[in-house]
Amino acid sequence: MGKKRIITKAEPGSSLEAGAKKAEEALSKKANLGIDEGCVYINSTYNNTIISLTDLKGNVLTWVSAGNMGFKGTRKSTPFAASKVAEALSDRAKKIGVNRVWVIIKGIGSGRESALRSLAGRGLEILSIKDATPVPHNGCRPPKVRRV
């Protein structure tokens, strides 16, 4: 069976609460930058979905992944997890002040389309969509012929 885990709620002044306060302070500092446009990079693999929000120069403002949201194992790669990740990122983008985005999608996971639909559904104005999935051309060198 395995060990039983006891989950305790964070007490006032604990390290968990301090980490949440630091994240909120970082978002509020970025909100003062006056950024209203950005790029959203959706990286959807077979195992996870990672979405990053950057400014127009490419500096990362915030990011969210399915593992970061609390999904574990095979549930990280589902379209539902990707839509939840996109919702969380759009909320953070609104706090920063970003409301118009360019979307760049990379990867062949199942969360590509659901993440994009969720971003559009949460009120972010999508200016363009670009697919930057790497395509192999001729692949790597095959192994030598086996001699027995």
pLDDT tens digits along 29-68: 666 677 889 999 999 999 999 999 999 999 999 999 999 9
Give the integer Cα–Cα distance in Å for 29 and 51: 21
- pLDDT value at position 7? 66
| Residue pLDDT, tens place only, 96-116 | 899 999 999 999 989 999 999
> Is residue 2 a part of any domain in this protein?
no
Give the integer Cα–Cα distance in Å for 11 and 20: 13
Residue 87 sits in a domain of what CATH number? 3.30.420.80
Contacts by residues 116-120 (CB-CB < 8 Å, ≥ 24 positions apart): 116/42, 116/86, 117/83, 118/82, 118/83, 118/84, 118/86, 118/87, 118/90, 119/40, 119/86, 119/89, 119/90
Q: State the Cα torsion 22-126-109-118 to the nearest 10°.
A: 70
Q: How far apart are the first and last CA of the chain?
A: 48
Tell me: pLDDT of 11 over 70: no
Tell me: pLDDT of 1 over 60: no
- pLDDT value at position 140? 86
> Is residue 121 a part of any domain in this protein?
yes
> Is residue 53 a part of any domain in this protein?
yes
pTM score over 0.85: no
> Is residue 126 a part of any domain in this protein?
yes
> Is residue 20 a part of any domain in this protein?
no
| Domain count within the chain | 1
Give residue 111's region: left, alpha or beta (phi > 0; psi -120 to 50): alpha
- pLDDT value at position 35? 83
- pLDDT value at position 28? 67
Q: What is the mean pLDDT of the chain?
A: 86
> Is residue 10 a part of any domain in this protein?
no
> Is residue 75 a part of any domain in this protein?
yes
Tell me: pLDDT of 85 over 60: yes
Identify the domain containing residue 127 by its residue range.
32-131
> Is residue 22 a part of any domain in this protein?
no
